[in-house]
Structure 1
């Protein structure tokens, strides 16, 4: 099965921005951000392997496999230059693509990215992975957002419908297991990207993180190279694409200018 992507604008006119969602999401996770991007900025937004319309692609698993799949698809589309933006697990995927295709990546925007430190709220993610109904998803997402922020009901309903696809929950459980380095440890640690390779990135790199992120602690940003642009947003949680889409869109515009 071919990896699914949505393309808007003309990616041959200028390098497109490639948007990569997080664990358990889909291309629709970026809708609020995309609506705020300039009309002349081409956009390619993916369903990652094991998610939604890419449910049965062979490359599902860890971030490394997913990065390989996205990069191969961009090559197949003839995209020789692009900007990258990724949220959560998609941030780790985007960073790996940037490291593997540094000559093609014009910028990298990381939104509460995975893989930047070992700490991770594995219990909350496991609960999210197993949620089936709109009610269960609402409860699971509550810890991921800042107090008072509600994910729109239609977004929750769409996520619940995605999980009704045969094999969807099994795929999420498989991807969940691939996140961690020590499966037998009572405190699970996520895999960490090689900081020495992140240090070598020459394109503009920006990181935006919610100060109250209960899934991936924002202090992981402090470990990243000094030449990265780093924005910590007070009062925001992990779901920045929903909590402050305008801030994320503004950062992407700056990165792609």
Structure 2
């Protein structure tokens, strides 16, 4: 089965933007950001392998495996260059695509990306990834937001539909276990080869919520020197919903600077 992606304005002469969601998400959750972008911007909005309509697609595994799958799909679509924006696990995937296809990536916009440090709230991700019922999903998502912020009900409904597919939660647990590592008796995440990114010369924007309960905001300090960094006060891990204006503004700056 091939990967699913919602494609908009495929015939446009503009360089397309590729959107990669985080662990346990689906492409449709980008809606708050997409609504704030240039309506004529060409988009490729993926359901990542093992998620949503790509549940049975090839490429299920850690970020490196998924990066290869996404890049092969972009090849199949004939996209010779593109902008990348990824959230959380999708941010790690976007970064690895940039390493593999540097000459094709016009910009990177990373939202609380995975792989910038060992620490990760794997217990919260496990609860979220295994949730199927609406109330359990709502609680799992709320644990990733800033305190006193609640997820949008429509997004929960869309996730619940995806989680009810046969094998959906089992696939998510497989993915979660693929990127967790044990070190000194502690469980964390695998990390990216961050020292290699400065030399790529790809314009990079990093956004991170100061109240992120999944990936500590201190990991933003591990980014390479040329990257632009914005820490967003009072925002948790789910920047797509919690700070869509800031995300859309960063993407617009990346696209317009091209």
TM-score bin, normalised by smaller chain: over 0.9
CA gap of 1:11–1:103, structure 2 versus 1, over 3 A, is farther
Q: Deviations over 1:36-75 (max 9, x none)?
A: 1002211110000000100001210100111001100111
2:238 is matched with 239
How far apart are the structure 1 equivalents of 2:124 and 2:185? 15
Q: 5 Å matches for 1:220-235?
A: 220-235=219-234
Name the count of aligned residue pairs: 256
1:101 is matched with 101
How far apart are the structure 2 equivalents of 1:250 and 1:106? 17
1:3 is matched with 3
Q: CA deviation at 1:124?
A: 0.5
Q: CA deviation at 1:222?
A: 0.5
Q: 5 Å matches for 1:174-189?
A: 174-182=174-182, 186-189=185-188
Unaligned runs of 5+ residues in structure 1 are none
1:117 is matched with 117
How far apart are the structure 2 equivalents of 1:234 and 1:205? 20
Compute the RMSD of aligned alpha carbons: 1.2
Name whichever of 158-167 and 7-16 sits farther off.
7-16
Report SS of the residue matched to 1:45.
strand
Q: Deviations over 1:95-133 (max 9, x none)?
A: 000111010000000000000110000110111111111
Query: Do 1:211 and 1:233's aligned partners in 2 also have CA atoms closer than 8 Å?
Result: yes
Q: CA deviation at 1:187?
A: 2.3
How far apart are the structure 1 equivalents of 2:176 and 2:185? 16
How far apart are the structure 1 equivalents of 2:254 and 2:133? 37
Report SS of the residue matched to 1:188.
strand
Q: CA deviation at 1:224?
A: 1.2
Query: Do 1:11 and 1:79's aligned partners in 2 also have CA atoms closer than 8 Å?
Result: no
How far apart are the structure 2 equivalents of 1:201 and 1:29? 30
1:157 is matched with 157
TM-score by length of 1: 0.97
2:144 is matched with 144
Report SS of the residue matched to 1:181.
strand
Q: CA deviation at 1:12?
A: 4.7
Q: 5 Å matches for 1:31-50?
A: 31-50=31-50
TM-score by length of 2: 0.97
Q: CA deviation at 1:151?
A: 1.1
Question: Which stretches of structure 1, 4 residues or longer, exceed 4 Å deviation after superposition?
Answer: none
1:169 is matched with 169
Q: CA deviation at 1:252?
A: 0.2
Name whichever of 129-138 and 3-12 sits farther off.
3-12
Q: Deviations over 1:125-168 (max 9, x none)?
A: 11111111110011111121112322111211111111110110
Query: Do 1:62 and 1:179's aligned partners in 2 also have CA atoms closer than 8 Å?
Result: yes
